[in-house]
Structure 1
């Protein structure tokens, strides 16, 4: 026991090493947290706030590829029914469009509603079933990045064939259904290949795959204006991981993830397309239960 009114006693916190049960002051503990962070202790897991890592810019490039694929997919399926079901309008441009200024419905093949429904549903089925095989091929042979790149090229070819099916000279021969069906099959393959890889490769761009303790350092220069999400105070000890915030002890403020923008450069080599790893999350039953007076902010897991 230490006595003396003039001897301030620093608060004792759990040590960096749970095995040795070393106890040090909180100020000393901050000095042991490097820029890359360290594994959290049991006490830190129960008390420090957790937030999601920022999404680096290569992930947004993959999102743009998915946006283009989705736009082409829904842009085509919206007109498939009329193209298949209705016949060529009289006085139109010969490619399926009705005459200007009329209320006629666009069409081309004139196969009727049953054929239009069957072909459209078959296309949707292939686009949703083939990702199973595309995912296996990406994991065992090509890799996710190469699979997305190849699928994008396949999609371009499919759209070119789709345009050929709507050429007036092809429609007049009565055999436009052949290139149209081939185009649908090609587009289904492209859509399935991208769908199987885009979500895993985006989630795999995060440089943090396990919780770790870090000290918040405010962003400097232009990065301050590009930093989104909750902020913290200079020198604050936080936990960075794959879950959202749990509990914030009184006096600790908010947190922020480390800036991952410097870890990624321009070019294909910076897309993390290696083997997909899981990101375990804390079960809800293991979340600490605290009194409202002990916290300043709480949130549910994502």
Structure 2
């Protein structure tokens, strides 16, 4: 992250001091804690600050919520698609296209409700209280799902009614939690400018808050995928005990989220609610729209006679947030690709030789890959690339789209070979009555690379999107801008519903091929439209430090003086 431009004479003086220290063999110990020069920002290695313990408490909330979400949704495809006498057994008997459409509706609902959650948090309750109340709602939704799946009291009609009611409640609760947990964990990091730090080895490095935020979101996403390993437990329980057991486990586990919220209630940094901040933002945006999209017309310095209830700095923050929102435009296509592992990959696995495995357990490969590769990317890949070139957000997202494309290309090729295998070829398990429960002769483990490619794409595209949404949002609107990023997943679900009629045999080769082409085109278009944003990223990030915000708590105010820097790093 860049800092304010220093006067040329000051820069020359600093450089002279550096050169003098080098010539005298100095160890630079006196440099510890001072702001770096432009040359030092470009040449010294950048490292992260330490992550406070309170971040771990917030991460436990996210782990528990994702444990519940993925633990519940992993059995959903079988639960919706099949009947009690099918292989694998289910309940609602909606067939593959119907189940996939309802699956995409659930994803849509879970990712459109963050708009409500972000608005409530930034306008009325704050992030902490919003998360707490929506967690209680989450528990109610899971309980309804559990009760209506009990074999002793359920039927297809009861199960369908209970399922619809529960996913509506769970989706609403998911929106309230998801839009606020990631901003809350990032809020726990003190707002500091880059400073020089002298390591025990004598190496001088830049302690960079940008790297800290990047690592926080990597760590946050790691917790998401540790939680999502619940699919191993719930799919095994679904296969060997029943759906009710698969839903009971997330219900019990979710109380850990409430416990973490209660234990950390006096430790969390809580950004005070800004009065009508969302209303001010939309009013400012509307003024710009009615003036040919010119945000300069919204500045009090340009029109002091209009008595706008905001500052010029607030307008610049809105401009920065709009940059982020434009970057999100291509994400819906990515989310359609991502959603394949939650529905069609599960259905396809059911037509392959499982060798005793549940057909929906392979989703765990995605989570396991992310858990393994996040530390590798954080410790090895990103630092290695940064030695040669800045690896900015837009570049990461572009490569995320390319790995998503690779996943769909592989899925299409695999589907081609599934259709070439007997006994039912391009109509698996449906060519004749005697083959009703006989899969095509191809091993389910061959699906593994598709999950691997999607996992790598998540590290590059999904994590970076979360980071981009947080860093480009005004401090008083972190939850709302995060919800706009999350709602792109909802638009992806709408696209998935629109093409769900193609989610059936023998069309799946062309379905995956079409998704691969779409993802590739979207990735290239994204790069062409936004590659110049890489050049503006440090300027946009620096707005976080331009002037004080009256709503920011003291420990989140930008730390600029040498004394404060030492205090923060102690």
Q: CA deviation at 1:275?
A: 6.3
- On the 8 A contact 2:91/2:156 being kept in 1, the answer is no
Counterpart secondary structure, 2:153: helix
Q: CA deviation at 1:115?
A: 4.0
Higher strand share: 1
- On the 8 A contact 1:86/1:111 being kept in 2, the answer is yes
Gaps of 5+ in 2: 1-5, 213-262, 274-313, 321-385, 392-570
Q: CA deviation at 1:43?
A: 4.6
Q: CA deviation at 1:122?
A: 1.0
Supply the distance in 2 between the matched residues of 1:85 and 1:29 (Cα, whole angstroms): 66
Q: CA deviation at 1:47?
A: 4.2
**Alignment match of 1:105 (pick from 72, 75, 88):** 88
| TM-score (norm: length of structure 1) | 0.59
Gaps of 5+ in 1: 1-13, 90-102, 219-231, 246-265, 281-296
- On the 8 A contact 1:204/1:273 being kept in 2, the answer is yes
**Alignment match of 1:212 (pick from 181, 195, 198):** 195
- On the 8 A contact 1:83/1:109 being kept in 2, the answer is yes
1:110/1:239 CA distance change after superposition, 3 Å: closer
Supply the distance in 2 between the matched residues of 1:166 and 1:202 (Cα, whole angstroms): 35
How many residue pairs match? The answer is 219
- On the 8 A contact 2:80/2:93 being kept in 1, the answer is yes
1:138 maps onto 2:118 in alignment: no
**Alignment match of 1:298 (pick from 370, 387, 390):** 387
Which segment drifts farther, 140-149 or 117-126? 140-149
Q: CA deviation at 1:237?
A: 4.8
Deviations 1:26-68 (A, max 9, x none): 46985475xxx34334454344432122222222232232222
Tell me the equivalent position of 2:168.
Answer: 185
1:88/1:51 CA distance change after superposition, 3 Å: same
1:270 maps onto 2:267 in alignment: yes
1:67 maps onto 2:59 in alignment: no
1:149/1:118 CA distance change after superposition, 3 Å: same
1:152-231 to 2 correspondences below 5 Å: 152-172=135-155, 174-216=157-199, 218=200
| TM-score (norm: length of structure 2) | 0.33
Tell me the equivalent position of 2:53.
Answer: 57
Counterpart secondary structure, 2:77: helix
**Alignment match of 1:76 (pick from 72, 76, 81):** 72
1:112/1:54 CA distance change after superposition, 3 Å: same
1:18 maps onto 2:21 in alignment: no
Supply the distance in 1 between the matched residues of 2:65 and 2:54 (Cα, whole angstroms): 17
Q: CA deviation at 1:145?
A: 2.4
Supply the distance in 2 between the matched residues of 1:143 and 1:301 (Cα, whole angstroms): 35
Counterpart secondary structure, 1:213: strand
Query: What RMSD over aligned residues (CA atoms) do the two structures have, in Å?
Result: 3.8
Q: CA deviation at 1:126?
A: 0.6
1:45 maps onto 2:41 in alignment: yes
Supply the distance in 1 between the matched residues of 2:388 and 2:65 (Cα, whole angstroms): 35
**Alignment match of 1:240 (pick from 201, 207, 211):** 207
1:45/1:110 CA distance change after superposition, 3 Å: closer
Tell me the equivalent position of 2:253.
Answer: none
Supply the distance in 2 between the matched residues of 1:173 and 1:133 (Cα, whole angstroms): 32
Higher helix share: 2
Supply the distance in 2 between the matched residues of 1:105 and 1:239 (Cα, whole angstroms): 55
Supply the distance in 2 between the matched residues of 1:31 and 1:82 (Cα, whole angstroms): 64
- On the 8 A contact 1:210/1:242 being kept in 2, the answer is yes
Tell me the equivalent position of 2:374.
Answer: none
